[in-house]
A and B are shown apart, each in its own frame.
Chain A
């Protein structure tokens, strides 16, 4: 399951987080979010496509389970999750091949006066989060915005930091951090959940 897929020979890849590690990190982040928010009141998780959204769904399920365990209140996880597409707000649209935008879906409650937790897989330059903050402003006015990421790999280019981090991974900028989530990724025909670092040999 966690075998790295065959890569071109000049590239070395290693698994830094396996499925169980990711699960434990998400469980901890879920509890951190609950603690920081003092429960689930006004909580909204917005995943940034593509991999932020399945992560947000996983977090919401864990939050709902933890909340049910401690208070007995059952919460529909899908009611607190949404997807926030930031494509049109990026500052590098002219330096990349055209990216088609993906859907933005807000939970029925909207985001006005909510505590919005942005969820993404890797925090790197911080530019995606800047775009996400711009996209949020056009959708409503949250009471607070926080950031949860699975991996923080450093090399920030903007004054942005995450409130909840699954794992800090010191990397070199020539390396690539790839997150695979079983919901959308298959390697060699198997759905895999892992974080790998690829770098030159």
Chain B
């Protein structure tokens, strides 16, 4: 792995390796000294063209726990607002010898452009691009699900996948990069996915996706999912009317207290409610559901740091300039203990 741009091109083996390493990283988070020297002297730049709380802080914490130097570059107050292009910004970072760039951009494909151009040598991690992908969010969701699954079935989480799990993703699928990344990753890990959304918020072409699509949340809940993932209604990306009113949306596609009670009547004692945050309480998720013991919202945030540590470690450690090491030294180092 050189970059982490999407979960669509992530193999099952790579995905499980990231989750396994994240499992070891989370053990570090429980220690008194929550720091590892693995990335000492490496520089990680957080390049955020869009607002973010969780993802930015989480990447920053992850890089710092691995002893990397972190430069956070918020576009507000930078030369980008004077009209600097992505290329010039990238080359500036290259001149400062960044080893990894964590990029969030409002344009789908901006991280891929950065990774495939020769503007910069650094490893590129996609922290959310437009309506395309948000791979670390999907990985942390899978990590949370795998831990939950391992706990209730009493098997070790390490090395396992999500086969035979049923996950229902509900809400604004059209604008959601989280839904897309999760769909590909959950599929790769063997889970079955159901999308629930108003017809207007199902993207064109979604019928070709490897999932079931329904417009009725109550029907989807009756199908006994193991996890219900609520998506945020992305008002900032909505430039047209997709549904008559937020109250109607909330009643038909929101996870309210009645649906929380329905999980109990269906006898789904192990079903969890996930949300990538930030939550619109009272709109797509009720406060009762968000604060219920089924909610994994805070576990997701906590696991986010471990998963991002794993991604940074796997991308930044190891040899990238293999040719610079003479063959003879390589031979002796191979057996060094």
Residues of A within 8 A of B (CB): 85, 87-89, 92-104, 120-125, 127-128, 134, 138-139, 173-174, 176-177
Contact-size category for B: 20 to 34
A94 to B21, Cβ gap below 8 A?
no
- Shortest distance between the CB of A123 and any CB in chain B (Å): 7
| Chain A residues with CB below 8 A from B337, complex form | 120-125, 127-128
Given that A94-B319, A123-B337 are contacting pairs, would A85 and B31 also be in contact in the complex, using a CB cutoff of 8 Å?
A: no
A-B contact count (CB 8 A): 72
Q: Which residues of A contact B38 (CB under 8 A)?
A: 87-89, 93
Contact digits for B318-337, partner A, Cβ 8 Å, 1 yes 0 no: 11000001000011110111
A-B contact pairs, 7 of them (CB 8 A): A85-B24, A87-B38, A95-B319, A95-B333, A96-B333, A138-B33, A138-B35
Q: Which of B11-65 contact A (CB under 8 A)?
A: 17, 20-21, 24-25, 27, 31, 33, 35-38
Docked Cα-Cα span, A103 to B98, in Å, equals: 30
Smallest CB–CB gap between A9 and chain B, Å? 18
By a CB distance below 8 angstroms, the chain B residues around A122 are: 337
For the complex, is B314 an interface residue (Cβ under 8 Å from A)?
Answer: yes
The listed residue (A120, A128, A138, A173) touching B332 by CB distance below 8 A is A173
Residues of B with C-beta under 8 A to A125:
336-337
A139: which B residues are within 8 A, CB to CB? 31, 33
Q: Which of A85, A88, A104, A122 has the most CB of B within 10 A?
A: A88
Do A95 and B325 touch across chains, with their CB atoms under 8 A apart? yes
Q: Which of A96, A124, A138, A176 contacts B31 (CB 8 A)?
A: A138
Verify B24–A94 contact, CB threshold 8 A.
no
Q: Is the CB of A103 within 8 A of B336?
A: no
Is the CB–CB distance between B37 and A98 below 8 Å?
A: no
